[in-house]
Structure 1
Amino acid sequence: MLKQSLHQKLLQKLSPQQIQLMKMIQLPTQAFEERLKQEIEENPALDTGKEENDNFDDPYSNDSEYDDSGNEKIETDDINIDEYLSDDEYPSYKTQANNYSSDDDDKQVPYAAGTSFHQSLKNQLNTFRMDENERAIAEFLVGSIDDSGYIRREIIDLVDDLAFTQNIFTDEEKVLEILTKVVQKLDPIGVGALNLKDCLIIQLKAKSEKECRTLAIKILEDSFDHFVKKHYKKLLEKFNLTEEKLKEVVSEISKLNPKPGSSYDGNNKIAEQIVPDFTIRIIEGNLELTLNARNAPELKVSREYNNMLKGYQDSKDKTKAQKDAVMFIKQKLDAAKWFIDAIKQRQQTLLITMNSIMHYQQEYFLTGDERKLRPMILKDIADEINMDVSTVSRVANSKYVSTPYGTKLIKEFFSESMKNDQGEDVSTREIKKILETVILEEDKKKPLTDEKLSKLLKEKGYPIARRTVAKYREQLDIPVARLRKEI
C-alpha cells in the first residue's frame, strides 16, 4: 500500500564555487598557472594587473569628482552599479606578493629537441647496404623495439607478423640474420637484444678484446643464472678463478647498460621541472616560510569594464541593448570577484597548512636529520588548524617545498607512528632511515638477512617483526641479502 509522508532531512551540500575552490587548492604551482591562464582567457573582466598605472586617471579614486553617495540607484533588474564601482571594493580586487619579480614571468616548460629514439634507429639503417626486402624486415624489427631497447617477442612470432601485416614472406633464419648483422649493430649498442643476457653480451663483444671481457662473455654464456643470483662460490669453482679475477669480471659487467634504449637522450619528451610551492629558510635560528610568488598573482577587474559601467551610469537614456550589456558585465564581474577571492582563500589555506606542518616538524627543518621527523598524520594537522582532513590532503598532494636540504615532496613529512621499547611514539620514517643506515654499513661479503636486521633493530630499541623489516626494505627499494652480496 502506497503512502505519502513528509520528512525533514539535514543535508550538507557544497556549492559549485566551493567545489572549484577545493580543486584549486589541490593544484600544484604549474597546474595552478594553467588554471589562472584559462580563467583570464575566458573572463575578459579579469586583468593581470601588470600594466603601468601611474598615468591612469581612475575616475573612481578619492580625488575624482565622481561620488558614490550622490548617485541615484539604477533600477535595471535590481543591479546596483555602485556595488561594482565603489572605491571600498577596489583594493580587494588585488592580491599582492612582495616577493614577485619579473624573473617569474618565464613560465613555459621547456621541450627537449631532437630526433625520437625509433627515428634515430631508422635513420641509421641508411648506413647499411640492403635490398628492398631486407630493409623492410630491418625497419619492422626496429619498430618492434621497446623503449628499453629490447625486442621482447619470439622470432617465429615476428616471422608471422611480417607475413600478415607487411605481406613479407620470410623465415626465422633470415630474420635472425638481419637482427644480428644489422639491427644489433645500431647505436646505442645493445638495442635489439631479445633478453638481458644477449644485451650484455652484445655490449661486451662491441668493445675491444681484453682478457676480463672474454672471460665475462664466457661466464654470461655458460653461467648466466649463477651470475645474476650472485652465486660467486660456484663461479669461482666452475671457472677456476681467483677472487681478484672475478671482481674484475663483475666490475666490467657492472659498467654495461641493461636498458640501452633508456640511455638515448634525443627523445622528444618534456623536460621535467619541479617548481616548489613553498620555501623554508633558516634566518638567525628561526624558520621562515614563504609562498612561491607564482601562486600569488596580482589580479584586478579590467579598467575597460569599469569604464563601461561608468558610461552606463552617466547615460540618461538606457536602451535595451545597454541593459543587456550591463547584465553580461555583472555576470563577468561576479565571476571575476569570486575568482580573485578564491585565489586569496587558496593562498591563505596553503600558508596556514604549511606553516602548521613546518612548526610540527620544526626539529627536522632546523637540522635536516630525518631521524628528527615526528610521527604525523593528516588528522594531526587538520585538528591543529581546524580544517577538514580532506583539505590538508589537497594541500599536501603533489606539492613541493624548497628547504635548506633540498626540494622535498610535502607528503614525505607524513608518517605513521610505532612505539619503541620505552613506549615512546617514533616515526616509521625514523625506523626506515636507521634500517637504511644499518644495511649501508653491513659487511657486503655477508649481508644481513631480514631476520638479522630485525634483531639488530630490536637491540637499538625498535621492536619490529621480520616481515615489517621486509616491507620497509622493499619500500626503500633495497634488494634481499643474497642480491646485496659482493665479493
Structure 2
Amino acid sequence: MLKQNLQQKLLQKLSPQQIQFIKLLQVPTVSLDTRIKEELEENPALEDLSLTISEPEEQYPDRDPDEDTYNSDDEQGPMDEFNIDDYLQDDNVNDYGSRYDQNGDDEDERKEIPIAVQSSFFESLQAQLDLLPVSDKDFAIGKQIIGSLDDDGYLRRPIMSLTDDLAFSQNVIAEDEEVEDMLKVIQSFDPPGVGARSLQECLLIQLRKKDPNDPIIRKAILVVENYLDEFTRKHYDKLEKSLNLTSIELRGVVNEILKLNPKPGDSNEVSTKQMQVIPDFHIKNNDGVLILTLNSKNAPELKVSRSYQEMFQHYDKASQKDKKLKEAVQFVKQKLDSAKWFIDAIKQRQQTLLKTMNAIMQYQYDFFLTGDDKNLKPMILKDIADRIGMDISTVSRVANSKYVQTEFGTFLLKSFFSEAIQTESGEEVSNKEVKKILEEHIGKEDKRHPLADEKLTEILKEAGYNIARRTVAKYREQMNIPVARLRKEL
C-alpha cells in the first residue's frame, strides 16, 4: 500500500566550493601549475596575470585608479543577486599574501633543472640489435623479445606467448626453438644479465661473461647454480661444508656475487622517471629566529577576465529587452562564478598551508633550529589540528603531500609526526628518537655478529627506554633494516 509522508532530515553536504578547496589542498606544489593550467583552459573567464600584458589605463575611462574597480550606477535589473563589483575587487591578487611569504623564492630557485639527454634502456637494446647481421625474421623476433622485456630487464613472458604474438601481430611464423635462440643473442647484449627469466639466470649470465679460468668465478657459478637459496639466506656455514671452502675462499665468492646487478634494466633508466620534489615551504634560521616562507608557485597571479565582466554587463542590459539573451547571461555568470570560486580556493589553500606549517614549525622549533632528530617532540595530527582550529583531515591532507626545505635537508611534513614513548623517568619522547638510537647501534655493530632484537631491546632498556622486543622488531622493519641473520657479513 503506497503512502505519502513529509519528513525533515538534517544532512551535511559539501558545496562545490568546499570540494574544489579539498582537492586543491592535497595537490603538491609540483602539480599545482598543471591544475591551474587545466582550469585556465576550461574557463575563459579566468586569466593568469603572468601570461598577459596589462592594458593602458585610458581604455577604461570609468575606472577609479585608486581602487582598481569600476564606478557604475547602472541598475542590475532582474538579477540583483549578482554583483559585478564582487569580481572587479579581486583584480589585485597579491593582497592575500601573509607575513610568512614576504621574501618569496630566490631567482636561482626558479631556474629549471637541466635534464641529461640519454638513450633509454630499450633504445640501447634496439641499437645493438640493429648492428647484428641477422635475417628479417630473426630481426622481427629480436624486436618482439626486446619489446616484451620488463623495465628491470627481465623476460617474464613464456616463449610460447612470444611465438603467438609474432604470428598474430606481425604475421611471422616462428618455432619456439627459433625464439629461444634469438633470446640467447639478446642475453649477450649490454647491460649484462638482460633478457634473463629469473634471478638465477640473470646472475649466471653475468658470471659467465667473466674470466672462466678464475677459480673464484667457477665457484661462484657453482653457488648460484646449486645453492642460491642458502646464499640468499646467508647460511654460510652450510656453503663451506657443501663446497669444501675455506672462510677466505667463501668471502671471495660472496663478494663476487654481491658485485652483480640483480636488475640490469634499471642501470640505464633515465633518472627523471622519478618525480621531482619541489619544496612547498622554506624555513631559514636568521640568528636563532626561524623564518617561514611559502613557495611562490603557490600564489599564482590569477584574476577574473575583464572582457568577461564587460560582456556580462552588456548581456545583462540587453537581456532585459530580449529574453533570448538570458541563456548567454546565465553562461557568462556561470563562468564568472567558477573563476571567482577558483581564485578564492587558491587563496584559502595558501592561508591553510601557511597556518598549518607555522603550527608545525612552532611545535618542532628545536628540531628546525638544530636538525637533530633527538629534538623532535611527539606530535600527532590532533595536536596541530587543535592549535589551528581545523579538522584532523585538513592537517592530514597538508602533511601527506607537502615538503619543507630546511638547512638540514628537504622533509615530507608527514615525517614530523610520531607517537610518544615514555622513559623510565616519566618523560615523553618521540619514537623517532628511539629509531635513531637503533639505527646508530645497528650501524656500529660487528657485522660478523650482528645484534639480535633481544640484544637491541636490552640496549634500549639500559638507555632508559622500556620497550618490548616486538616493538623493536616493528621499528626495525619500519626502517627497512633486515633481521640480524641477514645483516651478517664475512
TM-score with structure 2 setting the length = 0.84
Q: 1:485 corresponds to which residue?
A: 488
Structure 2: gaps spanning 5 or more residues: none
The question of 1:282 aligning with 2:282 is answered no
Contact 2:141/2:166 (CA < 8 Å) preserved in 1?
A: no
Contact 1:281/1:289 (CA < 8 Å) preserved in 2?
A: yes
Distance 1:328 1:149, change over 3 A: closer
Correspondences of 1:20-169 after superposition (within 5 Å)? 20-50=20-50, 51=52, 53=54, 55-57=56-58, 58-62=60-64, 71-78=73-80, 83-84=85-86, 90-91=91-92, 95-96=96-97, 98-99=102-103, 115-152=119-156, 157-159=158-160, 162=163, 166=167, 168=173
Distance 1:284 1:93, change over 3 A: closer
Give 3-state SS (helix, strand or coil) of 2:275's partner: coil
Range 208-217 or range 97-106, more displaced: 97-106
Correspondences of 1:260-275 after superposition (within 5 Å)? 260-265=264-269, 270=273, 272-275=275-278
Give 3-state SS (helix, strand or coil) of 1:185's partner: coil
Following superposition, the deviation at residue 382 of structure 1 comes to 0.7
Following superposition, the deviation at residue 423 of structure 1 comes to 3.0
Contact 1:375/1:427 (CA < 8 Å) preserved in 2?
A: yes
Following superposition, the deviation at residue 279 of structure 1 comes to 0.9
Give 3-state SS (helix, strand or coil) of 2:471's partner: helix
Q: Once the two structures are superposed, what CA deviation does each residue of 1:256-296 show, in whole Å capped at 9, x if it has no partner?
A: 211101112359x6453111111111111111111110001
CA distance in 2, matches of 1:152, 1:362: 51
Distance 1:138 1:425, change over 3 A: same
CA distance in 2, matches of 1:92, 1:145: 51
CA distance in 1, matches of 2:222, 2:477: 33
Report the residue type matching 1:34 in the other structure: T
Q: 2:207 corresponds to which residue?
A: 204
Q: 2:365 corresponds to which residue?
A: 362
Structure 1: gaps spanning 5 or more residues: none
Following superposition, the deviation at residue 301 of structure 1 comes to 2.5
Q: Once the two structures are superposed, what CA deviation does each residue of 1:448-470 show, in whole Å capped at 9, x if it has no partner?
A: 12222222222222222222222
Residue in structure 2 matching 1:187, options 185, 190, 214: 190
Range 35-44 or range 234-243, more displaced: 234-243
Cα RMSD over matched residues? Answer: 3.7
Distance 1:453 1:444, change over 3 A: same
Following superposition, the deviation at residue 147 of structure 1 comes to 1.9
Q: Once the two structures are superposed, what CA deviation does each residue of 1:363-389 show, in whole Å capped at 9, x if it has no partner?
A: 211111112211111111111111111
Contact 1:104/1:294 (CA < 8 Å) preserved in 2?
A: no
The question of 1:399 aligning with 2:364 is answered no
CA distance in 1, matches of 2:375, 2:404: 18
Following superposition, the deviation at residue 307 of structure 1 comes to 4.4
Q: Once the two structures are superposed, what CA deviation does each residue of 1:170-216 show, in whole Å capped at 9, x if it has no partner?
A: 355x5544433x12101111112232222222212223454533443
CA distance in 1, matches of 2:263, 2:361: 40
Range 161-170 or range 449-458, more displaced: 161-170
Distance 1:9 1:177, change over 3 A: closer
Distance 1:60 1:328, change over 3 A: farther
Contact 2:447/2:489 (CA < 8 Å) preserved in 1?
A: yes
Range 215-224 or range 13-22, more displaced: 215-224
Report the residue type matching 1:207 in the other structure: K
Contact 2:104/2:294 (CA < 8 Å) preserved in 1?
A: no
Range 97-106 or range 252-261, more displaced: 97-106
Residue in structure 1 matching 2:440, options 409, 414, 437: 437
Report the residue type matching 1:16 in the other structure: P
Aligned length: 480
CA distance in 2, matches of 1:188, 1:251: 20
